[in-house]
Each structure stands twice: as C-alpha cells, then as structure tokens.
Amino acid sequence: MAPLINRLASRFGIIVLVIHVVLLPVLYVQLDRIVARSLQEMFITEIRTYARIVADELELGAGTDSEQRTRALLENILLSGEGIFAELVDGENVLHVQVAPGSPAGRFLVEDFEFGQRGDDVYYLATPVVRAGRELSLRIGFDERPVGEQIRLAQQRILVSFGVYFITALTLAMFLGHMLARPLARLQRVSRRVAAGEIELKLTVESQIQELRDLAEDLERMRSELVNANRRLQTEMQQRVQEVEERRRLEQQLQVRRRLETVGTLAGGVAHEINNMLVPIQLYTELALEDLTPASPIRADLQRVLESARRAKRVVSDILVFTHQPDARVLQTIDLADVVREVLELYRRISPANVRITDQIDRGPLPVQGDTAMLNQIVTNLLSNAIQAIGEQCGELSVSLGPATADEVAAAGRPPARYVVLRVRDTGHGMDDYIRQKIFEPFFTTRQAGQGTGLGLSVVHGLVESLGGAVTVESAPGAGAVFRVLLQRADRSDTAEG
C-alpha cells in the first residue's frame, strides 16, 4: 500500500483530493447562500412590484364599486400572479378571496419582511390603496414553495457541477502526475541499467518541462563523470595488476637467475677442481699408452681410462658453458636460418617415426651475433629435448623462426630492440610450475638414470645468456611445451660464414 501511495501520480491525486474536500464544502455553502439569497430577493422584489402595480390599478380603476366586481378583480389578481389569497380591508369590512382550499394559509397574519418567515411557505404583503379619499389595505399572500423548489433545484445543479468538477480535477491531477512521473520513471529505469553495468546508456528525457530537462542533463553529466572516473580507475587497476604481475615475474626471474648463478658458481668451482684432476689423469694415461707396445694386455684398459677422462672433460666443458665461461671464440654475424635448416635436415633423418617435424622459417636472412658451433648446439639440444619429451607416443615437433614480437621481448625481460626468436614446440607430456622453474639447473632431469645427464637445457641457457639473449618456456601438464630463444638481431653487412 505504501509504495502505491508514495507514487507521484497518487500524491498528486491525494493533494487535489484533500484541497477539494476542504474547499468545496465552504465554496458550496457560500454559493448556495448567494443563489438562495438572489432567488429570494428576486422573488420579493417581483411580488412587491406586482402588488404595487395591482394597488395602482385598484386606485385608478372602478373595480371597488361593488363587492362582486371587487371579488372578481381580486380573483383575477390571484390567477395572474403567484398569489394564494388576497383580501381588501376597508375598515371593518374585509373582502377575502382564496385560490384553493388547500392553500398553505387561509388568512392574513402579519406582513413578512424576509423569505420563509414563520415557516408557513407564504409570503404576506400589505399594500395601501387610496380610493376616493379613503385608505384601504390590499393584503396578498404569495406562495413561497416554487421559489423554494427553484432553490433546491439550484442546489442540486451546484452539487452536480461540483461533482463533475471534482472528478475532472482529480482525473486531470492523476493524468498530470502520470505525465510528470513517466519521464522520471524512464530516468529511473535507465539509471538502474547504468548501475547494473550498461554505462554507455544516455540519461535523457522527452519532456517540455524545463526542470525535468535540467535534471536529466545534470544526471547525464554526473553519469559521464562517473563513467570517466570508472574508466580511469579500471585503467589504474589494470596497470597496477600488470605492474604487480610484472614485478612478480621479474622477481621469479631474479630468483631463478640467482639460483642458477649460485648453482653455476658452485658447478664452476667443482668443474675447475675436476678439470685440474682430469688433466694429469689424461696426460699420464697418454704417456703410459705411448710407452706400451700395441700387444700389451693393459693397453685396452688404459684406452678406456683415457676415453672416460675425455668424456669427463666434455662434461666439465658443458658445465663451464653453463657458468657463462665458454671457450674464447670470435663471434661472427651468422644467419640463424641457415643453422636451423641444417640441424632440421639432420633430425628429419634420425628422428623416430612417431615424431612428425614441421617448420616455418621466414624467408630472407635472420642475422645474429654468435658462433656456428654454439648456435648449432643450442638448436640441437632443444630439438633433442623435444623429441625425448614426446617419447614413444605419436606427436609433433614444430620449429619456427622469425622476428620476435613485442610481447615475446617483454616476457623475456629484454630491453626493447630487434630480436630474432626461435620457437620449438612439442606435444609431449608437458611440465608443471615446479619442474619448469628448475629445468635450466645443471644435472636436474626428470628422466630415469642412464637416460640423460641433465645438462642439455642448462647448456642451452648458458650459451644463450653468453650471447646476450634469453630463453623462456611455456608449458602445462599434458599440453606440451614451447621454448623460445631470443637473440638480438645483427647487421647483415657484417655477416661472415662460420
């Protein structure tokens, strides 16, 4: 009930109803009094004028010569006017004439000065008549009931007019309230939709009322300001989220780099110590082999010792590569596309039948600063790792080479520049976050013993870092992996085949 009463149209109707309930009775009473007074005064004026005219006729005429003629004259007076009875008084003689026996009064009482006096429905009037020097009194009684009926009829008409006016005013008030409420209701609906998220809706009204148009303009201005503020806030929030994500990513990269540096420092120290021990082993073994005859029974054992020492030295060399201590080499400008095509041709021949190799290499040279052997080792280790990740199931190895995008450069944490990116994608078993963060550590491997040393990806990482590039990886369990190697592009004019 309360929501219905609180509506604008209902409020308009209630206000109009209260105003009319208070004012219409007062107005009706005053109007009724004016109409009744007017009709009564008109009635009194008319009958007094009529009585005076009749008196004048009696004074001038010869109707009073005989009682019979006088009675006929009085009857004619009553029939031509609103009289009920009439009598002519001449001293003690009274000539009385009455229209009908059922008249309200049968004899003259006292002259009335107001309408409705004594409540007998007869207005009594006495008019002097001077005839032949004698003063007679003409007394006439007029019926008040027709005037009373006119007054009641006027009252009914006033009531009907007031009723029609009241209903019309109430209807117009409800209609005007509805017309005023309709643009406000539209503003309310649009405002709710804006609040629900449809912020592009315009707050406008179709109304000729200036106040409503001003209200809609103010609301639209406020909506625009709020939308702009919301967009600025969303932009700031997105920037803040991106900054937080970028900071978290950089912190993770820093942690991985520090861990790799720590492990690399340790591995480098161990590698140097091992290398110092391997040098005399290899040297004395070679000297012992030179002193032995080809038929010596221990010659084969010393050959195995020498081969093992050489393999150990290669492992030490790989460790030194991981610690960013590669052999001293002269870097050249090399077309990376040629190196990738050469390694792909080899792997297409030796890869298992269950692995399908595809490539997408941009036409034209893709020059980078490096060493052919280093670049060959990077590509070889990545392809070998991808094939081993696919395993015995049927899978695909995709290799692409081309200019790096801005997102790839940003993801690698490299400064803006022109980079060449090598993408190696496999459909293998993938990796979780824990394994993905440790794959570049030396000797870390998920394979069984005897299936790998865990140095392949660490060597790739070391070689790429030594060339001023970066390696990133994207992977999820069961979704394969994508390795990206970014190397800064070199000027083609310095290209030298290596």
Residue 374: give its domain's CATH number: 3.30.565.10
pLDDT of res. 317: 67
Question: CA dist 456 to 30, 318, 351, 359, 383, Å?
Answer: 113, 9, 17, 22, 10
Tell me, yes or no, whether 158 lies in a domain.
yes
Tell me, yes or no, whether 43 lies in a domain.
yes
Average confidence (pLDDT) over 215-238: 83
Q: Which stretches of 103-144 are DSSP H helices? A: none
pLDDT at 154 exceeding the cut of 70 = yes
User: Cα(47)–Cα(50) distance, rounded to whole angstroms?
Assistant: 5
Global confidence as pTM? 0.41
Report phi then psi at 136, rounded to 5.
Answer: -105, 170
Q: Which of 168, 202, 224 is the last residue before a domain boundary?
A: 168
As a three-state string, the secondary structure of 237-285 is HHHHHHHHHHHHHHHHHHHHHHHHHHHHHHHHHHHHHHHHHHHHHHHHH
Angle ∠(195,201,202) on CA atoms, nearest 5: 110
pLDDT at 427 exceeding the cut of 70 = yes
pLDDT at 68 exceeding the cut of 80 = no
Tell me, yes or no, whether 113 lies in a domain.
yes
% residues pLDDT > 90 (the chain): 2
Identity of residue 97: V
Question: CA dist 426 to 375, 397, 407, 437, Å?
Answer: 20, 5, 21, 18
153 band by pLDDT with thresholds 50, 70 and 90: very high
Tell me, yes or no, whether 404 lies in a domain.
yes
pLDDT of res. 108: 67
433 band by pLDDT with thresholds 50, 70 and 90: confident
pLDDT at 263 exceeding the cut of 80 = no
Average confidence (pLDDT) over 281-295: 80
Two structure tokens written together for 152: 């009641």
pLDDT at 450 exceeding the cut of 50 = no
Number of independent structural domains in the chain: 2
Tell me, yes or no, whether 13 lies in a domain.
yes
pLDDT at 194 exceeding the cut of 60 = yes
pLDDT at 288 exceeding the cut of 50 = yes
Number of C-beta neighbours around residue 423 at 10 A: 17
Tell me, yes or no, whether 82 lies in a domain.
yes
Average confidence (pLDDT) over 49-64: 75
Interval 294-315: pLDDT, tens: 778 888 888 888 887 777 776 6
| 81-104 as b/e: b if 16+ CB within 10 A | bbbbbbbbbeeeeebebbeeeebe
pLDDT of res. 227: 79
User: Cα(460)–Cα(439) distance, rounded to whole angstroms?
Assistant: 11
Q: Which residue has the higher pLDDT, 336 or 496?
A: 336
Interval 101-123: pLDDT, tens: 555 555 666 777 788 777 778 88
Q: Which of 168, 201, 220 is the last residue before a domain boundary?
A: 168
pLDDT at 440 exceeding the cut of 60 = yes
pLDDT of res. 242: 87
Tell me, yes or no, whether 323 lies in a domain.
no
Two structure tokens written together for 196: 């629900």
pLDDT of res. 85: 80
Q: What long-range pairs does 19-22 form, CB within 8 A, spacing at least 24?
A: 20/166, 20/169, 20/170
pLDDT at 328 exceeding the cut of 50 = no
Structural domain boundaries enclosing 36: 2-168
User: Cα(157)–Cα(155) distance, rounded to whole angstroms?
Assistant: 5
pLDDT at 362 exceeding the cut of 50 = yes
Residue 33: give its domain's CATH number: 3.30.450
User: Cα(68)–Cα(72) distance, rounded to whole angstroms?
Assistant: 6
Give Rg (Cα) of the chain: 62
Q: Which of 168, 192, 214 is the last residue before a domain boundary?
A: 168
**How high does pLDDT run on average in the chain?**
78
pLDDT of res. 160: 92
% residues pLDDT > 70 (the chain): 81
Interval 71-84: pLDDT, tens: 777 777 777 666 77
Judge contact between 179 and 156, C-beta under 8 A: no
Tell me, yes or no, whether 147 lies in a domain.
yes
pLDDT at 39 exceeding the cut of 80 = yes
